[in-house]
Amino acid sequence: MTDILQDKKLLLIIGGGIAAYKCLDLIRRLRERGVIIQAILTKGGLQFVTPLSVSSLIEDKVYQDLFSLTDEAEMGHIRLSRENDLILVAPATADLMAKMACGIADNLATTTLLAANKPIIIAPTMNSQMWANPATQHNLNTLKERGISVINPADGDLACGEIGTGRLAEVDDIVAEVEAFFLNKIDGPLQGKKITITAGPTYEEIDPVRYIANRSSGKQGYAIATALAHEGADVTLISGPTNIEKPRGVNIIDVKSARDMMAATENTLPADALICVAAVADWHVKNANDQKIKKQGNDLPIIEFAENPDILKTISHHENRPKLVIGFAAETENVLDNAKSKLNKKGCDWILANDVSGTVMGGDQNQIHFITNEGLENWPTMDKKSVAEKLAHSIKEFFKE
Ligand code: CTP
């Protein structure tokens, strides 16, 4: 699968904040992903990074001057927006934001922004008082109302020695926003299809400090969410607690218990498809305690269980049932027989059965038996990303028909 960012064209406008040095790392990261970058370095930006370092990293010239004879002979300020898919202003200073909000065009960056006919993302950075100032907040709202996307500054130590909101967002987060922008624009075969995915484990509370969980990592569900987003689907991922990186370009709803997951899943209906990948706890603790359970001499605490809602089964019989409902079957014995009977018991359309007695849960590999009412396919052992892509392919075929 080619990287979503491969060959995408981006105009980077580098404003004059101390965080401008981070744009070198940003450029490197975007270039690694195949993004083709043109760059404008403002006068302020020039105080913090050199044109040579930017130029070396983007492997192109750096534009600086509105009145450059050579560049403007080709109408540089118009061309720079026309030739690119997206304009990213990072860092965006309070001054740049104010000029954008007022439509001032007094240098190459502001003129290009005023003449732009492409989507714009800004990543502001400044002193926290400057950020909180009503003038900046007013400009921010004006820019948002005009459809400009904002990557909010982070909290923390600021270069000026103060602490507050104003740090440039992390490079990872800026790359993620750029990725999400392109993912949302995908005109793929699943464009317009609303797909809900449950993933990860659930946590069932015993008391405020203890819970019952399972070994699910969320890897398979997250990989499926990514693969479907790459096909253009509008994906909502309902995730139990995990420690892995969240997929980009999908709506994420974080939940803890099976009952929360049930409610969140139902809230996404109507949907075109539901894929239940989560390892949902079958039971919750009926007598969960509001306070930490203390040791009581030789008496052991007694945990009583009550059954959790079965999300897959409930939605399979729901009045708003998605056209395609897919479940997983985690088995440790009689994999095929158990999985086949699960297909009927749950009332779903497809089951992906796997033997979880080994390292599947938490691991990177998976071997799937793909079961439908029409028959069985044994997929070879492959990594979870490949399983996700194969499943996405089957879903594409299903909706084609
Ligand atoms: N599932 C669900 N809600 C539950 C339990 C399971 O949505 N309360 C879904 C899982 O996401 C999976 C499928 O049902 O898609 C099968 O889950 P699995 O744990 O294999 O089976 P169980 O239904 O829990 O049955 P058993 O524990 O008896 O094998």
Q: Ligand 1: which of 237, 257, 265, 310 to mutate, most ligand atoms within 8 Å of CB?
A: 310
Q: Is 59 exposed, middle or buried (0-12, 13-18, 19+ CB in 10 A)?
A: exposed
Write down the catalytic residue from 23, 102, 160, 348. 160
- From the CA of 330, give the closest atom in ligand 1: 20
Residue of minimum CA distance from atom 12 in ligand 1: 328
Residue 163 pLDDT: 84
Residue of minimum CA distance from atom 16 in ligand 1: 329
Please give all residues whose beta carbon lies within 6 A of any atom in ligand 1, as ranges: 198, 258, 276, 278, 280, 282, 308, 310-312, 327-330, 342
**Residue corresponding to tokens 């709803």:** 253
pLDDT averaged per 10 residues in sequence order, the chain, 401 residues: 89 95 97 97 96 97 80 73 94 97 95 93 96 97 92 87 89 93 82 96 97 95 94 95 89 96 98 98 96 92 96 98 96 90 96 85 87 93 94 96 75
How far apart are alpha carbons 151 and 114 in whole angstroms? Answer: 20
Q: Tell whether the torsion through CA atoms of 84, 87, 89 and 95 is positive or negative.
A: positive
Output Rg (C-alpha) for the chain, integer angstroms. Answer: 26
Residue 70 pLDDT: 63
- From the CA of 338, give the closest atom in ligand 1: 29
Q: Which residues pair with 139 in a beta bridge?
A: none
Question: What predicted TM-score, i.e. pTM, was given to this entire model?
Answer: 0.75
CA 336 vs CA 161, 315, 339, 372: distances in Å = 63, 23, 5, 12
Q: Tell whether the torsion through CA atoms of 369, 220, 360 and 276 is positive or negative.
A: negative
358 alpha carbon – ligand 1 mean position (Å): 18
For 319, the token pair is 């009045």
For 167, the token pair is 């740090």
> Is 276 annotated as catalytic?
no
260 alpha carbon – ligand 1 mean position (Å): 15
- From the CA of 311, give the closest atom in ligand 1: 7
284 alpha carbon – ligand 1 mean position (Å): 14
- From the CA of 315, give the closest atom in ligand 1: 7
Instruction: Report the relative pairing of strands 324-331 and 305-307 from DSSP bridges.
Output: unpaired
Do residues 24 and 57 touch, judged by C-beta distance below 8 A? yes
- CA neighbor of 220 nearest in space, from 346, 366, 332: 366
110 alpha carbon – ligand 1 mean position (Å): 56
How far apart are alpha carbons 151 and 171 in whole angstroms? Answer: 11
Please tell me whether residue 257 adopts helix, strand or coil conformation: coil
Domains and CATH numbers, the chain: 2-183 (3.40.50.1950), 194-400 (3.40.50.10300)
Q: Ligand 1: which of 203, 212, 311 to mutate, most ligand atoms within 8 Å of CB?
A: 311
Task: Give the E-state strand segments of 243-342 in sequence order.
Answer: 251-254, 273-276, 283-285, 305-307, 324-331
- CA neighbor of 253 nearest in space, from 271, 268, 243, 273: 268
Do residues 296 and 349 touch, judged by C-beta distance below 8 A? no
- CA neighbor of 131 nearest in space, from 93, 76, 104, 159: 93
355 alpha carbon – ligand 1 mean position (Å): 14
333 alpha carbon – ligand 1 mean position (Å): 15
How far apart are alpha carbons 48 and 272 in whole angstroms? Answer: 50
- From the CA of 278, give the closest atom in ligand 1: 11
The total of other beta-carbon atoms located within 10 Å of residue 246's CB is 15
